[in-house]
Structure 1
Amino acid sequence: MAGNSVMFIGGCVILLVTAFPIVQISLGAVYIYECPVAPVIPVYMMVYGILALLVMGLFVLPKLLCPAWPGNTIWTLSILNLLLLYFIVFIYGSYMIYSIYPPNYNKNATDPNSNFSAPDNKLSLTLKNQNQILPNLNQTWIANNNQTSRKLIQSLALSNKANVEHLNPPQARQVMPAMLHCDQTVYLFAFWTTTVVYVFAGNALVTLICLYGFMKMTNMLSERFTI
């Protein structure tokens, strides 16, 4: 009866621990093309989850299948290599996540700082054509009548003004380039899971330092009082 309870509790723990990497792999696969601003983030989540499952498998499966198995050098080297690769992937993924914080979540958002390429090209082409026509007209008509040339220049100026006013805001917004985005679900999941790992690692490090200092202080006090 007790053995069954232990097995049930162990199975629940394994299920909860493995659910987290499986969710990472699933989200990374579903949203793999939904983060153009940082395409590495969905791939990072998939690789991170796969490495986590492999590390847990190497730690747990031999003990579950054969509790008396002592292990060997190949098994130890495999775990060390996976842990090293896990650490490298985690550091690189953290850099990619925090470097774009906060990203744009709106897929259809446009960049307000961009220049209007299409209207400007149209306007510049109109001005260029008019400037090419103007010298030829001046050479023909200015010699005959200065008043005619002044009227021509005024009409060209009015035409340029009308072209500028014709570029209304809706047309300008249509040619503004879209901002690169990242899906909110995949980014926030990657951000908070990575942050939680850093929090736990920081707490563990502080706890180890405090325990080490406490043990050293206890040893020093015990040596002094024994003398």
Structure 2
Amino acid sequence: MPESERPYFTWIRQTIACTLLVYHIMFFLQAITGLVHINDCRIDPFIPVYLSGYGFIAVFWLWSKRWCSIILWSASIAIVFMWFIMGTIRIYSVYQPDYNKNTKDPDHYCDKTLYLFAFWTTNLAFVLLAVLFCSYSLAVYFLIESDDNETQTLLGDNQNNAMFIVYFFQRQISLRHEVSISRAT
């Protein structure tokens, strides 16, 4: 059965696409919030820088997917992941800073909008990562269960998970390439 007729590939692809869209929107909102409040967090000045950096990372990520090799795109994902871990550590380490700017100890101040936005978008990012992981896992599972001759020929008798993941990503990249060519013409 052709892939377009498989209902599970359709909803998995839509779930992944929607999750990535939410990520990109969240990246740009984080960048705007970080730039607006760049000097409003004295307890940890890295928090607005962390949020601002997502705007540049997202632009680079989108650019690298379109114009560069898969290696550069993979490296950009690794950079996003490291940036996310660094920001998560910094945000959670100062949980519940003082939101009152006129306190006796102004070094514990952080703007309430900035901090809560950073905190909750970080929590949302964990949820979205779980959705992506589950979606990719289901896609791999359905590739394993597939009786398709194309899949069986490609994978052969040696059916390990790495080959399924490689096949799935190759298929996604070729579909994106076909879409971009059709849009250009």
Task: Identify the match of residue 98 of structure 1 among 92, 95, 103.
Answer: 92
The match for 1:184 is 112
Per-residue deviation, residues 138-197 of structure 1 (Å, max 9, x unmatched): xxxxxxxxxxxxxxxxxxxxxxxxxxxxxxxxxxxxxxx445111111111111111111
Cα distance in 2 for partners of 1:215, 1:17 equals 26
Over alpha carbons, which structure has the higher Rg? Answer: 1
Unaligned runs of 5+ in 1: 1-12, 63-73, 111-176, 220-227
Residues matched between the structures, number:
129
Q: Name 1:25's counterpart in structure 2.
A: 31
Alignment partner of 1:43 is 2:37: no
Check 1:197–1:212 CA distance in 2 against 1; reply closer, same or farther (3 A cut).
Answer: same
Asked if the contact 2:28–2:58 (Cα under 8 Å) also holds between the matched residues in 1, the reply is no
1:58–1:93 CA distance, 2 compared to 1 (3 A):
same
Unaligned runs of 5+ in 2: 1-17, 148-185
Q: Deviations over 1:84-143 (max 9, x none)?
A: 111110100011111111111111123xxxxxxxxxxxxxxxxxxxxxxxxxxxxxxxxx
Aligned position for 2:156: none
Identity of aligned residues (%): 31
- TM-score for both structures, normalised by structure 1: 0.48
* Residue of structure 2 in register with 1:83 after alignment: 77
Instruction: Kindly state the Cα deviation for residue 204 of structure 1 after the two structures are TM-superposed.
Output: 3.2
How far did residue 24 of structure 1 move?
Answer: 2.0
Give the TM-score, by structure 2 length. Answer: 0.57
